[in-house]
Structure 1
Amino acid sequence: MKDSKKDIRALTKEQLRDFFVKEGDKAFRGNQVYEWLWSKSAHSFDEMTNISKETRDKLDAHFVINHIEVDSMQKSSDGTIKNAVKLHDGLVVESVLIPTENRTTACVSSQVGCSLDCKFCATARLKRMRNLNPDEIFDQVVAIDKESRLYHNKPLSNIVFMGMGEPLMNYNNVLKAIDKITSPEGLGMSPKRIVVSTSGVPKMIKKMADEEVKFKLAVSLHSAIDEVRSKIMPFNENFPLKDLREALEYWYAKTKNRITYEYVVWRGINDRKKDVEALIDFCKFAPSKVNLIEYNPIDDGEFQQASEEALNMYINMLEANNITVTVRRSRGKDIDAACGQLANKNQ
């Protein structure tokens, strides 16, 4: 029965080698299979053409490859592609290919639904069903790389963990996936081209710093005033800004890596001068960059994009304080692929 078979990608290379030795075969067969699974992204044992039919049948008797399938694909007028990704158990997550002139970025999911409760995000309205496995995260990247080559004539250049889910609430699997993505035995991508975006889990930010990760960190901040942040991101009650700041100070001391803050300005919520002043104060303890993100309404009227005047106030005050600021115009809005819109409407 398929259900009783072990997912072969849960095995290390050493465990694969051991399996073949126990079966009376050569250990190097494990290396061959490992290469097919990770470097060549094989989805079936039949694809492993340098391995005998007998050996492939033996693998099929013991193991399964729980690969994803792109269930449906939507293309935006701006070239953005959104995938509805079907997992082996029938659950669905979404991932997005975002093209610009000189690069293509994969926005990948780390959970089915989300562990957190940000009120402005469509994904947060879905209950968290489960964490994604490392291979399911890896497969999203492989699928988007293929689409990037097919539709934009270039390989995938960047990855952001900004899809469905809170990556640091699926810490071990996200790090294992990044390990496979960056390994020469996997996709061989540079960790400097990977950004993990978190809403701010202080304990896990410190853990990342201790483990000396090489990828970049982005924090979904949206307010540097506790009262305001708790209203829009209720989990802030458990992880207040004081704890987040302390964890980020620790991160910078350990890694010396600049921190990026993701920040949406909403009308009547965080569009006052004192909101900008609090953000400036929060940014000053370490080199940082603020990405002001265009808001994409998810249905009701509670959250509305702030005025251009408010946005310009943020830009001018941040720049006057020597804080790097960029405005990120959202892409893929016409297919609900923009920031905060991923919600499995196709389910």
Structure 2
Amino acid sequence: MPLQDIRSLNEEQLSEWVVALNEKKFRVKQIFEHLWKHNTASFDEMNNLPLSLRDALKKDFSFHKLSIIDKQTSKDGSLKYAFQLSDNQIIETVLIPSNRRSTVCVSSQVGCGLACQFCATAHLGYKRNLQAYEMFEQIFIANEESKLLFGYPITNIVWMGMGEPLLNYEHVVACIHYVSSPKGLGMSKSRITLSTSGITEGIRRLADDDIKIHLALSLHSAHNEQRSTLMPINKTKPLSEVANALMYYHQKTKLRISIEYLLLESVNDSLEHARMLARFCKQFPVKINLIEYNTHPYSNFKPSNTKQTIAFMDYLKSKNLIVTLRQSKGKDIAAACGQLANQTGMDSK
């Protein structure tokens, strides 16, 4: 049976293990920084630890590192990485450069079980949650790639890849801690955004736990019945409950909520849909991101035409709402919003 990955221990558990060996407490900080600041790949590389401690680490623990099995570059400069996990499952991560900024789009699960009708990842189904270290490694590798390829580190982290982050709450929050800790990557939480389909208990828990990251709601329809068709999660987490949870999050954090809205031709792009969206968004401070739909083989939806998109956007602006139109990058390599489920991933099912 494989040894436990040392990165599955939290700081308290690591401390208990070190103390049980009668080692000095400062060794905990040294090991922690090797794991979460430097992403050290082996115990032999921990040169500031005594040989006896390194041997003890080797005896009890291992590293289950991610392997890059595919890397594709878009004509717009975005990169998509396919990572193989220790159990041979596949996940995808996207690195997006833009005007001295670099954003990594992180996956939180292998596949996804929410069956959103417009999303390619849904066709993988749900396999398992990712460990905190599996998400951290996506970020660390993307950071190193950004420095190598673009000359600067990542500036933003978005949990908008494969999976529903709030259905993997413990590991996602642990990863956020490692990414933002001065003993880890030291990134500001103001640079981190988590997108959710509307897991209300997770939204409230984020607020109560004082995580203070930016929150985005994957909405796509402000009509309950239609949203339940597009996103079955709405049957158990209807819009009224989601809105209450978002109000609670804003009250606790004072942060503006981002609303993600795919424009689907003749589905959710009429002026009546815009009116419903405006009403929903008047309940708390928001920024609306309208998203051009990215086609893929697992859905028959089409993107809204330019005329309808402009009319939809203009209506929202007339209601004094902050609105942007986001054109996803990486479409030509199936790395754009809603496209993460390439053939490699499908083959691992």
TM range (shorter): over 0.9
Superposition deviation, residue 300 in structure 1: 5.4
Q: Which amino acid aligns with 1:167?
A: P
Q: Relative to structure 1, is the Cα distance of residues 258 and 17 closer, same or farther in structure 2, using a 3 angstrom cutoff?
A: closer
- Alignment match, 2:196: 198
- Alignment match, 1:60: 58
Q: Distance in 1 between matches of 2:6 and 2:150?
A: 32
- Alignment match, 2:230: 232
**Alignment partner of 2:10 out of 9, 12, 17:** 12
3-state DSSP class of the match of 1:326?
strand
Q: Which deviates more from structure 2 when the two are superposed, residues 249-258 or residues 23-32?
A: 23-32
- Alignment match, 1:117: 115
Q: Which deviates more from structure 2 when the two are superposed, residues 144-153 or residues 238-247?
A: 238-247
Contact 1:18/1:27, CA 8 A, preserved across alignment: no
Q: Relative to structure 1, is the Cα distance of residues 204 and 301 closer, same or farther in structure 2, using a 3 angstrom cutoff?
A: closer
Q: Distance in 2 between matches of 1:346 and 1:44?
A: 28
Q: Which amino acid aligns with 1:27?
A: K
Contact 1:132/1:173, CA 8 A, preserved across alignment: yes
3-state DSSP class of the match of 1:346?
helix
Superposition deviation, residue 187 in structure 1: 0.4
- Alignment match, 2:143: 145
CA deviation digits over 1:13-56, x for unaligned, max 9? 34334333433433333322222111111011121122234432
Q: Distance in 2 between matches of 1:302 and 1:40?
A: 44
Unaligned regions of 5+ residues in structure 2, if any? Answer: none
TM-score normalised to the size of structure 1? 0.96
Superposition deviation, residue 146 in structure 1: 0.6
Q: Which deviates more from structure 2 when the two are superposed, residues 129-138 or residues 243-252?
A: 243-252
Q: Distance in 1 between matches of 2:37 and 2:211?
A: 22
- Alignment match, 1:166: 164
3-state DSSP class of the match of 1:236?
helix
Superposition deviation, residue 158 in structure 1: 0.1
Q: Which amino acid aligns with 1:140?
A: Q
3-state DSSP class of the match of 2:343?
coil
3-state DSSP class of the match of 2:268?
coil
Runs (4 or more) in structure 1 with deviation over 4 Å come to none
3-state DSSP class of the match of 1:264?
strand
- Alignment match, 1:295: 293
- Alignment match, 2:213: 215
CA deviation digits over 1:122-169, x for unaligned, max 9? 001111111001111111000100110011110110000000000011
Q: Which deviates more from structure 2 when the two are superposed, residues 295-304 or residues 151-160?
A: 295-304
- Alignment match, 2:69: 71
Q: Relative to structure 1, is the Cα distance of residues 55 and 297 closer, same or farther in structure 2, using a 3 angstrom cutoff?
A: same
- Alignment match, 1:313: 311
CA RMSD of aligned residues (A): 1.4
Q: Which amino acid aligns with 2:305?
A: S
Between the two proteins, what is the percent identity of the paired residues?
A: 45
- Alignment match, 2:284: 286
CA deviation digits over 1:69-88, x for unaligned, max 9? 22221111111010101111
Contact 2:111/2:124, CA 8 A, preserved across alignment: yes
CA deviation digits over 1:182-209, x for unaligned, max 9? 0001100000000000011112111212
Unaligned regions of 5+ residues in structure 1, if any? Answer: none
Q: Relative to structure 1, is the Cα distance of residues 28 and 87 closer, same or farther in structure 2, using a 3 angstrom cutoff?
A: same
3-state DSSP class of the match of 2:126?
coil
TM-score normalised to the size of structure 2? 0.95
